[in-house]
A = this chain, B = another copy of it.
């Protein structure tokens, strides 16, 4: 079996001139890799028909499959469709199915369909239309001399929807892909080099058909295992064996696998344990609640939260004592403990969590510099409290500390398991 070779072409002046970062091609190549398709080149060209067609011609020679994003909007600078029609030498005309789907989409949203919008349904006649459930520009599938070109809109959630629902399954079906099996092991609460030290004996004994990569993130490290060269079932079983052997060395840091997130795993544990949670936030400003509620079905265990940014709200809404704030300040173990206990009581939940600190860039003192953040969990039986000492970047401080608080929730829940 020969490996299937893909190229990715992203189209848009905004990528070419560095006005936006191209995250689409990263996502697409990762998705291709997961189904055993090897990306051999990525190309970005601008909204320039000659350059687009040149990129098509070159990719056609080298690759079996060409994925294209961008340049499908209704405005004059989006010329991918014209380039595709010229390249495949066919006229553009209104595709009745595409028009019908755009009509439905617009009716549902209560919008009026303008002439410009209708042009979204005009497609090169040689393509097969792929329904886009999340937007008005359909995907297009072209085949020529055994090679496949797929064109998608550049809006990330539209591209991802098309890929997941239609394009990836079809690529798997139409190409002979040799199995590659990935497993991502998600760890939290330990840095990359410490984790590497801990698991070194295991790494040394990994069989040669399984490769390991470290993918560090904000407050977490992912380990990616990639197995190939054997039948799918064997690969999966080999990876499972390796994970069993990893657990004794790093199990207490592993919160999940693949698409798991701390908030997702917490949701599963909360549901299984029939528990409820509420949150009192100061410096994280709603981000902890946002993470929890990003999970479908979170309304079954998340009752709500208070963003007590102003001290008066800590007093009025959360019932923190004036004396506590005067004696210890808002960023203190005492205040954050009252916040957690009180939100738990007031929201009548099993668990109450709280966070208070100085996100920055200003507001620090010698005693409490920017990046000083307290997190607490109260569950009626015991209290967990931790002080974080982070850096000066507001955005990083908010995200890192919110994740640390979720890790605290996860640790409490698995102890109950």
Q: Which residues of A contact B (CB under 8 A)?
A: 13-23, 25-33, 38-47, 51, 55, 58, 73-78, 108-111, 114, 116-117, 133-134, 155, 157, 161, 182, 184, 191-194, 196-197, 203, 212-216, 224, 226, 279, 281, 284-290, 292-294, 296-299, 302-310, 312-313, 316-317, 346-348, 359-363, 389-396, 398
19 A-B residue pairs with Cβ-Cβ distance under 8 Å, sorted by A, are A15-B42, A16-B40, A17-B33, A19-B215, A22-B26, A25-B44, A41-B45, A73-B214, A75-B214, A76-B196, A76-B203, A114-B193, A114-B197, A296-B394, A302-B309, A303-B312, A303-B313, A304-B307, A310-B347
Given the known interface contacts A40-B46, A213-B47, A215-B19, the answer about A298 and B313 at a Cβ–Cβ threshold of 8 Å is no
Shortest Cβ gap from A264 to chain B (Å): 13
Cβ contact within 8 Å between A197 and B116: yes
Are the CB atoms of B213 and A14 closer together than 8 Å? yes
- Residues of B near A13 (CB, < 8 A) are 213, 224, 226
The answer to whether residues A19 and B224 also contact, given A309-B302, A316-B346 and a CB cut-off of 8 A, is yes
Q: Which residues of B contact A15 (CB under 8 A)?
A: 26, 42
Check if B310 sits within 8 Å of A304, measured CB to CB: yes
Cα–Cα, bound, A14→B33 (Å): 11
Tell me the minimal C-beta distance from A237 to chain B in angstroms: 22
Q: Contact at A294–B394, with CB atoms within 8 Å?
A: yes
Contact of A310 among B39, B40, B299 (CB under 8 A): B299
Min CB–CB distance A198 → chain B (angstroms): 11
- In the bound complex, CA of A18 to CA of B13 (Å): 22
B215 touches A296 (CB 8 A): no
Bound CA–CA A358/B161 (angstroms): 20
Are the C-beta atoms of B19 and A213 separated by less than 8 Å? Answer: yes
Q: Which of B17, B27, B305 contacts A30 (CB 8 A)?
A: B17
Beyond A21-B21, A285-B294, whether A216 also contacts B27 by CB under 8 A is no
CB-nearest residue of chain B to A299? B309
The complex places the Cα of A236 from the Cα of B194 at a distance, in Å, of: 51
User: Nearest-CB distance from A40 to chain B (Å)?
Assistant: 7
Are A51 and B47 in contact, with the CB atoms below 8 A? no
Pairwise interchain contact A26-B21, C-beta atoms closer than 8 A: yes
- Chain B residues with Cβ under 8 A from A133's Cβ? 391-392
Taking CB atoms, residues of chain B closer than 8 Å to A393 are: 134, 157, 161
Q: Are B289 and A285 in contact (CB under 8 A)?
A: yes
B398 and A294 within 8 A (CB): yes
Once the chains are docked, how many angstroms separate the CA of A316 from the CA of B343? 12
In the complex, what residue of chain B is closest to A21 when comparing beta carbons? Answer: B26
Residues of chain B within 8 A of A213, CB atoms compared: 13-14, 19, 47, 77
- The winner among A212, A286, A395 for most chain B CB atoms within 10 A is A286
Q: Contact at B309–A306, with CB atoms within 8 Å?
A: no
> A193 is contacted by which of B29, B117, B226 (Cβ under 8 Å)?
B117
Q: Do A192 and B75 have beta carbons less than 8 Å apart?
A: yes
